[in-house]
């Protein structure tokens, strides 16, 4: 490892995957980019939680299908313990329920494993910068989730989407990049990013409301 000193500007990444070949591939891609490097590798969720605590990486690259501790549970713990550590989900199957759950508990983005090296590095940098990495599929999934929530609990005190946020989400789902959306809506790219960030925050908040409602419900049932 060359130049891993204090002046190293490269992003520090923890790779969590149970396939060694895959971890090697990610390491090679990040090294080649010169913008990020792998500081630790974990094989399952438990190791990931420990290594995140020890190494305090900038970004955790997380597979969801892991032995023992589930990926989603690991993400929840990592984000709880170190809110400044960003998590990017890298999944082969992209099973919808899991991806949505991962984003709800705090993942900052989601990428399919078939993404190119360029896309991967780009996503790592964007997630680190606090910009949610939404694929068209994830955007549609999130929009559907908000629709279901407002249908299930109408007029709840929970934050729904503003018309503008819905519009932005639809455009992401149609495959527009943030830049294209900015041009289309005549707003800045930064504003588009803010909208997407707010959508993500509301989704994570809704998860907390959901847990609270559940707890209250159980309390009432017992009383």
Partner 1 sequence: MASARAPAPDPGPAERASAVLALGILALRWVALTLMVLMAAITGDLRRPLLAGVAIAVTTAWTLWLTIARPRGTAPVLAADLAVAVGLLLLSGVVVPEGQVGSHPFFASVYPVAAAVFWGAAAGARAGLAAGALLGVSLVAAQLINGIDVLEATTPQLLSLASGALNFVLAGGAVGLVARLLERSAGELRAAAEEAMRAREQAARLSERESLARQIHDSVLQSLAMVHKRARELAGVEAVPAAEVARLAEMAAGQERALRSLILRRPDDAPGGTASLRANLEALARAELPIPLTVSATGPIWLPVRHAEELTAAVRQALDNVVEHASASKVAVFADEDDGAVVVAVRDDGAGFSYDEARLAAADKMGILKSIKGRVEQLDGSVRVETAPGAGTEIELRVPTRSEAG
The strand pairing partners of 14, in sequence order, are 40, 60
Give the contact letters, 44-83, x = binds to partner 1 (CB under 8 A), - = no: ----------------------------------------
**Binding of partner 1 at residue 130 (CB under 8 A)?**
no
Nearer to partner 1, 79 or 138 (CB): 138
Q: Which residues contact 135 (CB under 8 A, 6 or more apart)?
A: 110, 111, 112
Nearer to partner 1, 31 or 167 (CB): 167
Could you tell me the two tokens for 207?
A: 């998860």
- Which pairing describes strands 109-112 and 86-91: parallel, antiparallel, or unpaired? parallel
Whole-angstrom Cα distance, residue 18 to residue 102? Answer: 18
Give the contact letters, 161-200, x = binds to partner 1 (CB under 8 A), - = no: ---------x--xxxx------------------------
Q: Rounded to the nearest 5 degrees, what angle is found at the Cα of 206, between the Cα atoms of 200 and 212? A: 150
Interface with partner 1 (CB under 8 A), residue from 148, 179, 190, 213: 148
Sign of the dihedral defined by the CA atoms of residues 188, 190, 193, 198, in that order: negative
CB of 173 to partner 1, least distance (A): 5
**Binding of partner 1 at residue 139 (CB under 8 A)?**
yes
**Binding of partner 1 at residue 141 (CB under 8 A)?**
yes
State residue 68 phi and psi, 5-degree precision.
50, -115
3-state SS, residue 63: coil
**Binding of partner 1 at residue 140 (CB under 8 A)?**
yes
Nearer to partner 1, 54 or 95 (CB): 95
Whole-angstrom Cα distance, residue 215 to residue 17? Answer: 33
Nearer to partner 1, 96 or 210 (CB): 96
Q: Which residues bind partner 1 (CB under 8 A)?
A: 92-97, 112, 114, 135-137, 139-141, 143-144, 147-148, 170, 173-176
């Amino acid at each position: 490892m060359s130049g891993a000193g204090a002046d190293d500007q490269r992003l520090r990444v923890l790779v969590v995957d149970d396939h060694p070949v895959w971890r090697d591939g990610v390491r090679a891609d990040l090294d080649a980019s010169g913008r990020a490097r792998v500081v630790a590798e974990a094989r399952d969720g438990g190791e990931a939680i420990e290594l995140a605590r020890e190494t305090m990486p900038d970004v955790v690259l997380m597979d969801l299908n892991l032995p023992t501790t589930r990926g989603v549970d690991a993400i929840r713990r990592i984000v709880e313990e170190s809110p400044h550590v960003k998590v990017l989900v890298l999944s082969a199957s992209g099973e919808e329920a899991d991806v949505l759950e991962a984003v709800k508990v705090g993942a900052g983005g989601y990428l399919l494993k078939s993404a190119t090296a360029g896309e991967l590095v780009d996503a790592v940098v964007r997630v680190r910068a606090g910009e949610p990495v939404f694929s068209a599929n994830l955007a549609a999934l999130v929009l559907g989730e908000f629709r279901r929530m407002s249908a299930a609990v109408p007029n709840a005190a929970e934050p729904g989407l503003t018309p503008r946020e819905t519009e932005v989400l639809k455009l992401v789902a149609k495959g527009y990049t943030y830049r294209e959306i900015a041009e289309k809506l005549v707003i800045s790219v930064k504003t588009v990013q803010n909208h997407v960030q707010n959508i993500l925050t509301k989704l994570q908040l809704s998860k907390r409301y959901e847990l609270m409602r559940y707890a209250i419900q159980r309390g009432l049932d017992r009383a």
